[in-house]
Chains A and B, each alone.
Chain A
Amino acid sequence: MIPACPLAALPRGEAYRLDVEPPIALFHTEDGEIYAIDDTCTHQDASLADGWLEGCEVECPLHASRFDLRTGRVDAPPAKLPVRTHRVVVEDGTVYVVPSEEPPNLPPGIRAGTA
Chain B
Amino acid sequence: MSTRSLPPSVISTLPGGYYTDEGVFASEQARIFESMWFCVVRSSDLGKPGAFRTVQVGRESVLVTRARNGSIRAFLNVCRHRGARICTEESGEVKRAFQCPYHAWTYDLEGKLIAAPNLTKMPDIDRVEFGLVNVHVREWLGYVWVCLADEPPSFEADVTGEVVTRLGDGDLIKNYDIENLEVGRRIVYDVKANWKLIIENFMECYHCATIHPELTEVLPEFADGYAAQSFVGHGAEFGEEIQGFTVDGSEGVDRIQGVSEDQDRRYYAITIKPQVFINLVPDHVIIHRMFPLAADRTIVECDWLFRKDVVEGGKDLGPSVELFHRVNVQDFDACERCQPAMNSRAYAGGGVLVPSEHHIGAFHDWVLEKLG
Contact = CB atoms under 8 A, between A and B. Distances in A.
B2 interface: no
B104 A47 contact: no
B115 interface: yes
A10 interface: no
Nearest to A60: B115
A25 to B, nearest CB: 10
Interface in A38-94: 39, 44-47, 50-52, 61-63
B117 A17 contact: no
B106 A45 contact: no
Given A52-B96, A61-B97, A115 B118 contact: yes
A51 B119 CA distance: 13
Contacts of B117: 44-46, 62, 115
Given A61-B97, A62-B106, A45 B118 contact: yes
Nearest to B123: A19
B311 interface: no
A23 interface: yes
B246 to A, nearest CB: 51
A50 B96 contact: no
Contact of A50 (B99, B114, B118): B114
Given A46-B115, A50-B114, A63 B120 contact: no
B96 to A, nearest CB: 6
B97 A47 contact: no
B188 to A, nearest CB: 33
Nearest to B105: A62
Contacts of A52: 96
Given A61-B114, A61-B115, A62-B115, A45 B104 contact: no
Interface in B102-127: 104, 106, 114-121
Interface residues of A, number: 15
Nearest to A109: B118
Contacts of A50: 114-115, 119
Contacts of A45: 117-118, 120-121
A46 B119 contact: yes
A23 B121 CA distance: 11
Nearest to A63: B104
Interface in B73-109: 96-97, 99, 104, 106
A97 B114 CA distance: 25
Contacts of B97: 61
B115 A17 contact: no
Nearest to A47: B120
Contact of A47 (B96, B99, B115): B115
A52 B104 CA distance: 15
A107 to B, nearest CB: 9
Contact of B115 (A23, A51, A109, A115): A51
A22 to B, nearest CB: 11
Interface of B: 96-97, 99, 104, 106, 114-121
A-B interface, 5 closest residue pairs, ranked by CB to CB distance from nearest: A61-B115, A50-B115, A62-B104, A47-B120, A45-B118
24 contacts: A17-B120, A23-B120, A44-B117, A45-B117, A45-B120, A45-B121, A46-B119, A47-B115, A47-B119, A47-B120, A50-B114, A50-B115, A50-B119, A51-B115, A61-B97, A61-B106, A62-B99, A62-B104, A62-B106, A62-B115, A62-B116, A62-B117, A115-B117, A115-B118
Given A39-B120, A62-B116, 10 more contacts: A45-B117, A46-B116, A47-B115, A47-B120, A50-B119, A51-B115, A61-B97, A61-B114, A109-B118, A115-B118
